[in-house]
């Protein structure tokens, strides 16, 4: 946890800048952003099924293009 204590004769803006710099250097924001977009791992069978589905759709598209049904 990052915290800042106001120094003698320090303005609020200067304290805020110092706090922002400390947060950036600590990596707290980076870690929070990474955990925000965490994706669950996909099993091998699900990956294969997805790849086969994409391949089948691509072949069907190519077939319809050859037949002139779509551009």
- 48's tokens: 């294969």
Give the pLDDT score at 71. Answer: 82
Residue written as tokens 């086969």? 52
Give the integer Cα–Cα distance in Å for 18 and 1: 15
pLDDT at residue number 38:
74
C-beta separation of 19 from 2 below 8 A: yes
Structural contact between residues 47 and 53, judged by C-beta atoms closer than 8 angstroms: no
Q: Which pLDDT value is given to residue 22?
A: 93
Q: What is the pTM (predicted TM-score) of this model? A: 0.48
- Average pLDDT for 6-32: 92
27-64 pLDDT per residue, tens: 988 888 888 877 789 999 999 999 999 999 999 999 99
| Residue-level length of the chain | 71
């Amino acid at each position: 946890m990052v915290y800042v204590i106001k120094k003698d004769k320090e303005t609020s803006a200067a304290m805020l800048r110092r706090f922002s710099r400390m947060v950036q250097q600590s990596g707290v924001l980076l870690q929070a952003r990474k955990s925000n977009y965490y994706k669950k791992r996909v099993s091998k069978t699900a990956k294969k099924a997805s790849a086969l589905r994409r391949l089948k759709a691509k072949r069907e598209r190519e077939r319809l293009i050859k037949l002139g049904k779509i551009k």
